[in-house]
Amino acid sequence: MDIKFVKADVLKEKPESSTLGFGKFFTDYMFMMDYSREDGWHDARIVPFAPIALHPASTVLHYGSEIFEGLKAYRTADGSVQLFRPMENIRRMNTSADRLCLPQIPEDLALQVLTEFVKVEQDWTPSAEGTSLYLRPFMFGNDETLGVHAVHNATYVIIASPVGSYYKEGINPVKIMIEDEDVRAVRGGTGYAKCGGNYAASNRAGERAEKKGYSQVLWLDGVERKYIEEVGAMNVMFKIGDEIVTPMLSGSILPGITRKSCLEVLRQKGYKVSERLISIDELAEAMQNGTLQEAWGCGTAAVISPIGELCYKDVKYAVNNGEIGETTQMLYDTLTGIQWGKIEDTFNWTVKL
Ligand code: PLP
Ligand code: COI
């Protein structure tokens, strides 16, 4: 598809890498295209980054018809820029679209517009240690009527933000609160889709956790409130004895691309890995008897984030004395090594621009 380019009058100053944080700065341009049932995807354009005008009855403003993705472009030592497993994000976007009755984007079109947009903005990819260009594709339903039904019109946008670490702790261990009141998702719902509504429903527990000094919450399943699910913006893994355990994909958690990559690295290195149900009782017991050796979260924004403390029903448990464990460090080094092109990508995960 042809992509129209509208040049910005002035380009922005690029921020100092020490000030980046997460999602505070945006590049000069954004990608947009529109969908209608009659015309399919059309009007692909890269335009100056600016507010988007919406009809006050637009579906997204009333019925939460929105999905998104998150992936990163990395600056390698030779100055080139590469993406990490972009087809995984493109496929997950279409899975989310299917759940929310939003239109599919053909995979080759999605890859074309993503790479053309990143090529335009590649100078924004920072080079300081631990920084990258976070890419946020998103799609929303955009019918101009108040009826509740699958939309006939949608808009797809990609914005980009130079980022440092997601948590203020960086690679240092974070404190996580296990939530036993609110739930995030249930099987049959939208937990496996990356849709805005899941995050809106998470905010109340997140706020409560932050007030108590925790970075995020760890969700339990929505039916029995018994099984571990995932953390607010990452999947979760535990090392209990000599077994690495992570909740299986049951429909209520996000099938994380970092999760999938960690499992592939762990299996290749010969670790004993299980994707299975983990009850809060099993975890509490492992915390009490000291067999819980490590816990970490994994996600694109958070990368690999060691968990140094878990709090459940107001009882606090230190994990690995609040220090980063050996397996957590190995995963961090391997994934970031591949992402920043410091170690050989034997998995073929990276895509050069
Ligand atoms: N779980 C949730 C709820 C998330 O928001 C994320 C972040 O994208 C993840 C897990 C990790 O997914 P990924 O590794 O694909 O970024
Ligand atoms: C990501 O890791 O890309 C995410 O989407 C997490 C986000 C909710 C900040």
Residue 232: the pLDDT is: 87
Give the span between the Cα atoms of 159 and 27, in whole angstroms: 8
159 and 178, same domain (yes or no): no
Name the domain boundary from 112, 133, 163: 163
Residue 166: the pLDDT is: 82
**In-domain check, residue 351:** no
**How far does the centroid of ligand 1 lie from the alpha carbon of residue 333, in Å?**
19
Residue 203: the pLDDT is: 95
Task: Give the global pTM.
Answer: 0.96
Instruction: From residue 102, give the alpha-carbon distance in Å to each of 14, 234, 263, 345.
Output: 35, 24, 30, 34
Give the span between the Cα atoms of 141 and 96, in whole angstroms: 13
Biggest alpha carbon–alpha carbon distance for the chain: 63
Query: Is the C-beta atom of 89 inside 6 A of ligand 1?
Result: no
140 and 252, same domain (yes or no): no
Domain region containing 25: 4-163
What residue owns the CA closest to ligand 1's atom 11?
A: 299
**Which domain CATH number covers 253?**
3.20.10.10
Name the domain boundary from 134, 163, 192: 163
Let me know how long the chain is: 353
Residue 219: the pLDDT is: 97
Test site for ligand 2: of 92, 163, 166, most ligand atoms within 8 A of the Cβ:
166
Query: Is the C-beta atom of 300 inside 6 A of ligand 2?
Result: yes
Task: Please give the chain's pLDDT, 353 residues, in tens.
Answer: 999 999 999 999 999 999 999 999 999 999 999 999 999 999 999 999 999 999 999 999 999 999 999 999 999 999 999 999 999 999 999 999 999 999 999 999 999 999 999 999 999 999 999 999 999 999 999 999 999 999 999 999 999 999 998 877 778 899 999 999 999 999 999 999 999 999 999 999 999 999 999 999 999 999 999 999 999 899 999 999 999 999 999 999 999 999 999 999 999 999 999 999 999 999 999 999 999 999 999 999 989 999 999 999 999 999 998 899 999 999 999 999 999 999 999 999 999 99
**How far does the centroid of ligand 2 lie from the alpha carbon of residue 162, in Å?**
14
Closest-approaching ligand to the CA atom of 84: 1
What residue owns the CA closest to ligand 1's atom 10?
A: 234
Q: Which of ligand 2's atoms lies nearest the C-alpha of 23?
A: 9
**In-domain check, residue 75:** yes
Q: Which of ligand 2's atoms lies nearest the C-alpha of 233?
A: 6
What residue owns the CA closest to ligand 2's atom 6?
A: 233
Closest-approaching ligand to the CA atom of 138: 2
Query: Is the C-beta atom of 132 inside 6 A of ligand 2?
Result: no
**In-domain check, residue 230:** yes
**Which domain CATH number covers 126?**
3.30.470.10
Which residues on neighbouring strands pair with residue 162, listed in sequence order? 133
Instruction: From residue 264, give the alpha-carbon distance in Å to each of 194, 255, 269, 329.
Output: 22, 14, 9, 16
CA-based nearest residue to 125, from 181, 74, 187, 199: 74
179 and 158, same domain (yes or no): no
Structure tokens given for 310 = 């878990």
What residue owns the CA closest to ligand 2's atom 7?
A: 233
Query: Is the C-beta atom of 301 inside 6 A of ligand 2?
Result: yes
The domain total for the chain is: 2
**In-domain check, residue 347:** no
**How far does the centroid of ligand 2 lie from the alpha carbon of residue 70, in Å?**
6
Number of CB atoms found within 10 A of residue 141's CB: 26
Query: Is the C-beta atom of 235 inside 6 A of ligand 1?
Result: yes
Query: Is the C-beta atom of 196 inside 6 A of ligand 2?
Result: no
10 and 108, same domain (yes or no): yes
Name the domain boundary from 163, 187, 207: 163
